Structure 1
Amino acid sequence: MQDDITLTENLRRGDLKALESVFRSHYRDLLAYGLALCHDPHEAEDMVQDVFFRIWEKRRQIRAGTSLKAYLVRSVRNAFLDRIKRDKVRTEYLKLLATEPASASDTAEEYAIAEDLHAAIMEAVTGMPEQRRRIFEMSRFGGLKYQEIAKALNISVKTVETQMGRALKQLRMELAEYLIVLLYIWTHYGEK
């Protein structure tokens, strides 16, 4: 079996045999780790497969000299945390929809608009570069302060501020068409 440095270099060059070697060497351990995290065999399998898919997609970003096992374990952990955040957002959104008082003016069209808006927001967030998305989610969905995010990600507070500014700008640009819808919703629910 090749060492981590050789495997990493071969992965970075796009060698499928290197990916297969990494998969064969680490899949079972990663699956066991994923199962320990989420207690759901199907969820664990999905997470680990997603990790290998992302590794292949982002193979050129893997740093030479990185311990592949540590990198893979960290990737599974991050995938698990990302799923928790997505589930939390989905749950909070469904709670909000369930607690909204129904009235005669609430129509299927309004519900569809709200669903479209939610989908557009989630698409815009998931389309952000990884670090920006993670910072945004930690701030907006996790309720963490910039200093807490900086410490957790081992980056400067200035980087967090810059990435949050870029995230908000990106959201404003991508969701501009929904501004009228948002104004309508705020006005509509503000009158009740």
Structure 2
Amino acid sequence: MSLNSSPPDDKILVAQLKKGNEKAFKKLYDKYSDGIYGFSLKLLKSADFAEEVVQDVFLKVWNTRENLNIDLNFKSFVYTIAKNLSLNILNKAANDLNLRNQLLRIKPVANTSTKDHLLDKEYELVKRNAIANLSQGRRKIFLMSREQGLSYEEIANELGISVNTVKTQMKASLKSLRDYLSKQGDIDFLLFFMIFFKFFK
């Protein structure tokens, strides 16, 4: 079976869904919703946002059911939608300090496993080490922007430098941070920080 095509049972369900069959829709939802939730939770670190992504994915599936292609891989299709919706939330966080802090700091579930807790601590440690690796001046500007939520103009006024200097220093800081994090090697680690740094492009 081609990776670009759905398994036979999915093709049957999608064909039925195209005709408005609600039972076929529910079967597809039951089959893929948990996986999409876990995928989105890993990206967003928020149970509420992950659940929102699941609902939006299948709302889109239902609303566009008549245009679905039964020959395409349904799993890849819904996971692509989930990825795009998650990235949209992260992009929105670029201009929303409270949302950004919520995504980066919130605990996704009350009973976080020991493994997940240790992983979160590891993520935070490497993030802090990456920032600490910046020169003092760049680190100060970066933290004023990303943690205090100051605009480039406000930073320039407070430090007595030009806005262009702030922009230049931020660009250099981001390159340095990406270079540092790219050397960490762990795939999950890199995925987390690729998402983290997408805020700041």
Class of the TM-score when normalised by the shorter of the 2 chains: 0.3 to 0.5
Q: Could you state the TM-score of these two structures normalised by the residue count of structure 2?
A: 0.44
Higher relative contact order (CA 8 A, sep 6+): 2
Q: Which structure has the highest helix share of the two?
A: 1
- TM norm structure 1: 0.46
